Amino acid sequence: MKNTPLPRLDESCEIRKALLPYCRLKAGEIWEDPLTGHRVGCLDASSLEQVLYLTGDHKTTLAIHDPPYNLVAFDERPLHQYVEWCARWIENTDRILSSDSSLYVWLGADQNDGFQPLPDFMVMMRGQPFRARSFITVRNQRGYGTQKNWMAVRQELLYYVKGRPTFNVDAEYTDIPKILRGYYKEVNGQITENLQRSRSENIRAGNVWVDVQQVFYRMEENVSGCYAQKPLKSIDRIIRASSAPADVVVDFFSHSGTTLLGAEINNRRCFTMDIDPLFCEITIRRLEHYRRTGRVGWQNGHPFEDQYDCPRQDEAEHSKGTRSQSKVAQPSLF
């Protein structure tokens, strides 16, 4: 296994500077895939003009957003500013979704800060033209350990809809077999047990997903340098449940490119954006890497291996310890 991972790109000014010349997109530009029509834009999700530039006349049926949580990855802003910013890209999402459509939003809940920004975001959503459908919890296999509190192992995923969108229940079934028996019920004069009435021998995911592995460096799908990568299995489940082949899926915060890759695998078209040209480039390269190799990530390598030799981790750690860390300048989200 390669051992040349990129460090978090939001924390490494020198590596960002070295990689930016290899990025195809600058602010305001869009790359369109010549094979399927996927689009990747270096754009601002809070700008309606730029959102419409990405989607054109297309109405989308599914939006999957994973915004920064206003905690670590970017400069922390006052909560009201963060929620106001969220309201702008939610309103822009509404403009491009069809009358029957689904919206999924990953959002953090900091237990050291009143579980924000999740509760204030949910209150803001009450004033938006979406109907709440489910509060999904993804149970990580790894978490933040402590001896004085419950280990933090959850990720929050909010599901909203407009109108009467597609929901393919078959996409919800997991690989976990049913093992509990019980719940007898009379059907057509016969007493039947739960498993006899079931559509599958496996359990449904429900709104607590325990079968999704958090991405880490030993997994093929790992994209080093990305600090908030969502598992492909979770995005695949959402896409299969809430869209149909040839539908358009939109993602305003592309980051590691998982939504685009999930759309490619499931024969959907994806319009995605990121305000950071590095993550736009990683998104494009991940698609190209998958088509070329069949691999969904770089495991413990990285997307710029042909152009940039990343220092070994032991060298990077030594370098960290011998000089002060400067703040990384990044595109502003607010």
Residue pLDDT, tens place only, 181-195: 666 677 788 877 666
* Confidence (pLDDT) at 318: 43
Question: Is residue 329 a part of any domain in this protein?
Answer: no
Whether 47 and 63 have beta carbons less than 8 Å apart is answered as no
Residue ranges making up the domain that contains 222 = 13-322
Global pTM value: 0.89
Range in 73-82, 164-173, 316-325 the model is least confident about: 316-325
Q: Give domain status of residue 4, yes or no.
A: no
Looking at 1-10, 20-29, 104-113, 243-252, which range is the least confident one?
A: 1-10
DSSP for 286-332, written as a single string: HHHHHHHHS-SS-TTS-TTTTT--PPPHHHHHHHHHHSPPPPPP---
Q: Is position 184 within any domain? A: yes
Residue 156 resides in a domain? yes
pLDDT tens for 313-327 read 554 444 444 444 444
- pLDDT single digits (tens) 206-222: 999 999 988 988 899 99
Higher-confidence residue of 218 and 157: namely 157
Answer whether residue 330 is part of any domain. Answer: no
Angle of the 79-96 helix axis to the 48-55 helix axis, nearest 10: 30
Domain count for the chain: 1
Q: Is 95 exposed, middle or buried (0-12, 13-18, 19+ CB in 10 A)?
A: exposed
pLDDT higher than 50, residue 71: no
What integer best gives the mean pLDDT of the chain?
A: 88
What SS3 state is found at 106? strand
Non-local (6+) Cβ contacts of 234 within 8 A are 138, 157, 209, 212
Mean of the pLDDT values across residues 142-166? 87
**Does some domain include residue 327?**
no
Average pLDDT over residues 43-61: 96
pLDDT of residue 181: 62
Percent of the chain with pLDDT over 90: 67
Rg (CA), the chain: 21
Best mean pLDDT range from 33-42, 104-113, 306-315: 33-42
Dihedral angle of Cα 277, 233, 97, 76, to the nearest 10 degrees: -50
User: Quick check: is 332 in a domain?
Assistant: no
Burial of 140 from C-beta contacts in 10 A (0-12 / 13-18 / 19+):
buried
Domain CATH code at residue 262: 3.40.50.150
263 lies in a domain?
Answer: yes
